Chains A and B, each alone.
Chain A
Amino acid sequence: MPSLRLDGRRLEIQDGDTIAAAAFRAGVRTFSRSLKSHRRRGLYCGTGDCANCLVTVDAMPGERACMTPARDGMRVDRETGWPSAERDALAINDKLHRFMPVGFYYKVFARPRWLWPLAERVIRRATGTGTLPLDAAARRTPTRFVRVRTLVIGGGVAGLAAAATAGGDGSVLVADEATLGARVTDPAARETVARLAAEARAAGAEILEAHAAIGIYEGPSAALLGPDELVEVEAEHVIVATGAIEAHGVFPGNDLPGVWLGRGAARMGATHGVSVGERAVVVANTGEGQQLAEALRTAGADVTLLAGRVLEARGTRQVNSVSVLTPDGRRALACDALVLSLGWAPRDTLLRMTAEPEVVGAGDVVRPGCTLAEAEASGRAASLGEADEPREADPWPIAEPDGYVCVCEDVSMHDLEHAWDEGWTSSEILKRYTTATMGPCQGALCSRHLAEHARAKGATPAARGRTTARPPVRGPRLGDLTGGVHEQVERRTALHDRHVAAGARMDHSGVWLRPGTYGDVNDEIHAVRQRVSVMDVSTLGKFLVAGRDARTLLDRVFPLDVGAIAPGRARYLLALDEAGYVMDDGLLAALHEGSYFLTSTSGGADKMEAWLRNWIDRLDLHVHLVNRTAQLGAINVTGPRARELLATLSDDDLSRGALPYPGHAEITVAGVPCRAIAVGFVGEVSFELHHPRGRSVELWNALLEAGAPWGIRPHGLDALDVLRLEKGHVYLAQDTMPDDHPAKLGLGWAVATHKEEFVGKRALERMDALPLERRLVGLRFDGPPQRGHPLALDDAIVGRITSCAVSDAAGGPVGLGWLRAVDGAFPTVLRAGDVTATVSPTPFYDPEGARLRA
């Protein structure tokens, strides 16, 4: 016999059992403890609408026992109560309820201020539901996107009738949170569901079972949560046919185990063959009393059927008697189950999430308590554009002066009265003060009571409405909601696997995944400064700019003198915005046929492309631009031996005359066609080899193999950070701020001010007339500095360190930092924590640039 374990106890499972059915059959009556008072809570709605039966299933908390099918080997734990749900020491809270009125947190622990953090810790331990499994692997729920003409939410009579009618008229999707008919106990209703399901399928409707709609959004669109997927549906029309449950009864003892809502109790008997008690009292003011009574009798209960008001239910571990005010007077009856059908509460939360006319209701949700025939007619009408207007449930049960309004949050009628007397006099602020409707059921049971309470107290119409309905309707896991959005999408170069194989620590660098270091940063730096090294710079933005107006474009948008760049030569380039602020930088190489090869920073490529295309359009120029970033890999070969290394792998002329700094040429290296650009970012002889991405591995391997005699090492971002700092080169974003113009960065030399026009020129001219209030400076330190540390002059902070490193090549600790002018002059000696910082000219290393021209 298959079985599950509840708190370690073995329980047998029968065919079709939910966890709740298996547990109830085995005698379990207490399924949870209430949030604050730790009162016993048993099965109540039996339809997934309340939070009484939330349990932890196989370490995942918050599963509804009444809706979750039982499986062999399942491990189920009740979530609340200490040491157990059956014997809960914290049930003492129930006796202390009077000392913990609603809102007491806000008052009792307000002073002294240090008390609240302590109190909060204790309160959090004593309350709440299940525990998140922090050590469990995160579940990744795939998201599926669907477009349909009609989405029907709810696979009952009205929903299926709507789908059957709409099915011939386009794509139709029906979503039901359970299997079709699972919540139906009446044989006639089951037959109708089966007939309409067949009709809907025949008409071409797709039916998704076990998919709960958790929200309706603009569009309209809806999110459906299935066992293994989140389905995002865009629909032209949405028909909400989620039905209704019996109204929650508010009376003393209403939360005792053994008090049931009618359809859930009937389902327990009719579907699972489990009687909810031996002696059941059914109090029914709806038309379903007889039907409920019959279902309970069939399951073996001795049933008393009454109409009237429940005045009180009594019991300790579960209900044992009830007082009912009937038309014939007050009656007290002994019982072990009290089954309520006091009125109807439409499941209208989804319907209330939107006012879009494309979203309508059908069946019980708009006509609570309607007959099967009426539900079918309502569904068919909705799909034909003649949906019923929602009408209020009738009758609605009178709340007695005591009893729990919100069973999720332990909010009683006394609490509502208390809050009202304190001045919280509308349903919305009652909600916020008392937390009623804010529990796991999201107000499914209590939101009408809250509104009704405000109405009965004489609140204005605006202050007595239902509280706002928001997603999610059911409690999804966060992992389900993220649907993969939490994932960081990264770009990889063609050499990614080579870096990993070489033991590189791969870092997220903007949108790319790049090697931080291969293990020994100092050795990587030494390789560059003393021998030869390679770096994967495939991440650089790369563009081909051609067309008869190519030069005009580049001259018009960039501040460098494009006309001065002869074919075969390259120049450092700044990109400024209209405000004259530095957006990006890169290199511009003039090609022989009048076109240009442009590089940008790795993180700036997408913006550079959009920016250039925008200017091509704005200036109406005949220019063609192709983004080559994905097509071309790039490897920087650098170090005093770089030229020698390339010479071993190439037959091309690589002499200083043929390939000077800053110049470029098409060469072949190890059989791979490359555009070699002589660059100077790290201050040594360097050649960026731009080549087809598909040949990156071949080229990389050849360089490492040929460089072995010189002790070649690849270097990563950590080494690059030091190398470029030694040369005083800035990292955009790290060393810069959004409002930096070139002069602030010491890059005024990169601006051809004599040019008539370039983007940002007017702004630079205006700023030139102003004194420089802030600038980036080189710094030397007398001890190890810290990046980000403030720079202080006396007690005033006048700047901060943006980059720093202890550098052998620079002769000690060096850095870059922002400095603000003080009384019109820039200070030269500052404090950076415990060290002294002295403003120093850059570059720190090889200031004449002799090495990179070697």
Chain B
Amino acid sequence: MPEVRERPLGVIVCAADPPALDRLVAPGHGARMLRVAPDELMAVAKRDVIDDVRREIHDRITVLDDDALVVDDSDGWTAIALTGPDADRALSYLSALQPPAADDLVQGDVARVAAKIVREPDGLLVLVPAYWGEHLRTRAIEDAGGMAR
């Protein structure tokens, strides 16, 4: 049985020229860099380091693109972790998407809303805009929980 749990995360969104993002050196603090579009990147990290992550990204990207936007988007996302050996199977109750490989990002429809999926050491992490957080939480528990039947 997978465990379904909301995971508080910090999210930084960086919008910049694609070549600048290509050359951006990832910040420290365990931040995970997700290239969600050619001109947009999301950095995901623990909440308590997110200010440092934002600052580092800002300092590095503005050298490459002085117009780049770097904003804290932490409140805009809900992250649901599906953990345990059955995490991939749990996702199959929510989405037709193939679970990502270790460092990949998969974007698409999860429980009928737009989502981003990344692999974590203990399973999968599904991010959706916060206004769909309750929906995803409910669907994850009810549908992925259906594995118990």
Contact = CB atoms under 8 A, between A and B. Distances in A.
Interface string A226-238: 0011001010000
Interface of A: 140, 142-147, 228-229, 232, 234, 484-485, 487, 489-494, 496, 512, 544, 546-548, 595, 622, 624-626, 628-633, 692-695
Nearest to A511: B131
Given A142-B142, A491-B132, A630-B131, A624 B98 contact: no
A143 B112 CA distance: 12
Given A489-B132, A493-B131, A694-B74, A624 B93 contact: no
A74 B13 CA distance: 57
A622 B39 CA distance: 11
A228 B142 CA distance: 12
Interface string B57-88: 00000000001110111111100000000000
Contacts of A228: 146, 149
Interface of B: 13, 15-17, 39-40, 67-69, 71-77, 92-93, 95-98, 111-113, 129-135, 139, 142-143, 146, 149
A628 B146 contact: no
B131 A234 contact: no
B3 to A, nearest CB: 18
A352 B143 CA distance: 32
Contacts of B134: 492, 496
Contacts of B111: 484, 489
Most interface-central of B13, B67, B149 (chain A CB within 10 A): B67
19 contacts: A143-B93, A145-B96, A145-B97, A147-B98, A484-B143, A489-B113, A490-B135, A491-B129, A493-B131, A546-B15, A546-B67, A628-B71, A628-B73, A631-B74, A631-B130, A632-B75, A632-B76, A692-B72, A693-B130
Contacts of B146: 142, 228-229
Nearest to A622: B67
A692 B47 CA distance: 14
Contacts of B71: 544, 626, 628, 631
Given A146-B92, A490-B135, A693 B112 contact: no
Contacts of A140: 142
Contacts of A692: 72, 74-75
B16 A624 contact: yes
B15 A625 contact: yes
Contact of A624 (B67, B97, B131, B133): B67
B111 to A, nearest CB: 8
Given A489-B132, A693-B76, A694-B74, A144 B142 contact: no
B87 to A, nearest CB: 14
Contact of B93 (A142, A234, A491): A142
A147 B88 CA distance: 12
A625 B37 CA distance: 12
Given A144-B93, A489-B112, A496-B134, A631 B143 contact: no
Given A146-B92, A228-B149, A626 B13 contact: yes
Most interface-central of B15, B17, B132 (chain A CB within 10 A): B15
A547 B62 CA distance: 12
Contacts of B95: 145
A631 B75 contact: yes
A494 B129 CA distance: 12
Contacts of B149: 228-229
Contact of A234 (B69, B96, B113): B96
Nearest to A623: B67
B54 to A, nearest CB: 13
A844 to B, nearest CB: 34
Nearest to A494: B130
B67 A630 contact: no
A629 B76 CA distance: 8
